[in-house]
Amino acid sequence: MDLTVIWAGIIAFAVAMYVVMDGFDLGIGILFPRFRVGSERDMAMNAIAPVWDGNETWLVLGGGGLMAAFPLAYAIVLPALYAPLIAMLLGLIFRGVAFEFRWRDPNHRKAWDAAFCIGSSVATFAQGITLGALLQGIAVNGRSYGGGWWDWLTPFSLLCGFSLLVGYALLGACWLIWRTEGPVHDDARRFAKWLTPAMVVALGLVSLATPFLDGQYYVRWLSSPGLFVAIPMPILVGVAAIMLWRTVHKGKDHSPFLWALAIFGLSMAGLAVSIWPDVIPGRVTIWEAASPPVSQLFMLVGAGVMVPLILAYTGWSYWVFRGKVGEDGYHAHDH
């Protein structure tokens, strides 16, 4: 395995960790207006208070790693997706500011609650559009972006944006089922009951449209040997969705979140089958976009220290703040 493949694996891991870990707290922001003003909203926010900013570490690692290890891809993707990426960052900033200020400025809590929901929704929608724009293809001219300012705005990219809103909301609902009790817990279970079929429909529409975006996808998914992956994939997603539905209805607490993660894991595996080994699908491979081996080796030493360190403090944070959260947050619990 060469250094370029190792770095592609590191960045894919960082992006997957970000989607899973920031997905559920963005999902709580999307669902936030559905909770009653007062203790319900406080409890929903307390369920992510100790971990939400740490979850975004993976976004920094993924973005920074892409810039350093695959500078050509970074130089092409950034101008192609300026608008959705800037919208995503502004959404994350709005959301973070609202998170802190709503506790210290109760006189304007209504405005901060709105900012928390809008920031979460905009950041999620922009991430979905970014994924859709990458999948549908980016115009490349030599070693630079060759398209226009609005090329990213298509029905498919909008479909991906709405689908990710549904997916993150489902993750958020399942997290609240696991970590809360009382009315918030009951509301989250009710949300998960209709978000599960909505997620299956959204995922099905994206999956049906993807093979027709580019001849490469069609060949990989609908001819041998890709067909052997294409056939079991919807079956596995269907099984995971049914198990998610059953565990929600049976009153399980932690199982729904794990089955929701399984659906996301299968979706990311399907995405990898579609684009590997390209970093810009159908245009630039990871080897064409890679920085010199000596640079990758130098950065790998740093990543070898930082990634285990991030995993360690992330795992420790989740362990320390384990268990159900009440209206007063984790400060009221004795561990």
Which pLDDT value is given to residue 197?
Answer: 95
Q: Minimal CA–CA distance to 92: which of 165, 171, 26?
A: 26
* Residue 117 confidence (pLDDT) above 90: yes
Mean pLDDT of 143-151: 88
| b/e per residue 159-178 (b: at least 16 CB within 10 A) | bbbbbbbbbbbbbbbbbbbb
* Residue 100 confidence (pLDDT) above 70: yes
What pTM value is reported for the model? 0.93
Instruction: Please report which confidence band the pLDDT of residue 71 belongs to, taking 50, 70 and 90 as the band edges.
Output: very high
Which pLDDT value is given to residue 165?
Answer: 97
Tens digits of residue pLDDT in 107-116: 888 999 999 9
* Distance from C-alpha of 322 to C-alpha of 332, rounded to nearest angstrom: 13
Residue 295: how many other CB atoms lie within 10 Å:
14
* Residue 334 confidence (pLDDT) above 50: no
Per the structure block, which two tokens stand in for 202? 């959204």
Mean pLDDT of 306-311: 92
Strands 284-285 and 140-141, bridge-based pairing: unpaired
Q: What are phi and psi of 329, to 5 degrees?
A: 85, -170
* Distance from C-alpha of 184 to C-alpha of 28, rounded to nearest angstrom: 11
What average pLDDT does the structure give for the chain? 89
CATH placement of domain 11-321: 1.20.1630
* Distance from C-alpha of 54 to C-alpha of 205, rounded to nearest angstrom: 32
Portion of the chain with pLDDT greater than 90, in percent? 58
* Distance from C-alpha of 195 to C-alpha of 208, rounded to nearest angstrom: 20
Decide if 325 contacts 43 (C-beta within 8 A). Answer: yes
* Residue 333 confidence (pLDDT) above 70: no
Tens digits of residue pLDDT in 14-62: 999 999 888 999 999 999 999 998 888 989 988 888 888 888 888 888 8
Residue 250: how many other CB atoms lie within 10 Å:
9
Helix ranges, the chain (H): 3-31, 39-46, 52-55, 57-69, 71-80, 82-104, 109-136, 155-179, 183-209, 215-222, 227-230, 232-249, 255-275, 286-289, 293-320
Tens digits of residue pLDDT in 278-300: 888 888 999 999 999 999 999 99
Q: How far is CA 179 from CA 66, 134, 214, 243, 318, in A?
A: 34, 35, 42, 19, 12
Which pLDDT value is given to residue 328?
Answer: 67
* Residue 331 confidence (pLDDT) above 60: no
Q: Minimal CA–CA distance to 120: which of 84, 87, 92, 159?
A: 92
Tens digits of residue pLDDT in 215-231: 677 777 777 777 777 77
Mean pLDDT of 141-156: 89
Q: Minimal CA–CA distance to 130: which of 63, 72, 197?
A: 63
Q: Minimal CA–CA distance to 280: which of 58, 3, 6, 8?
A: 8
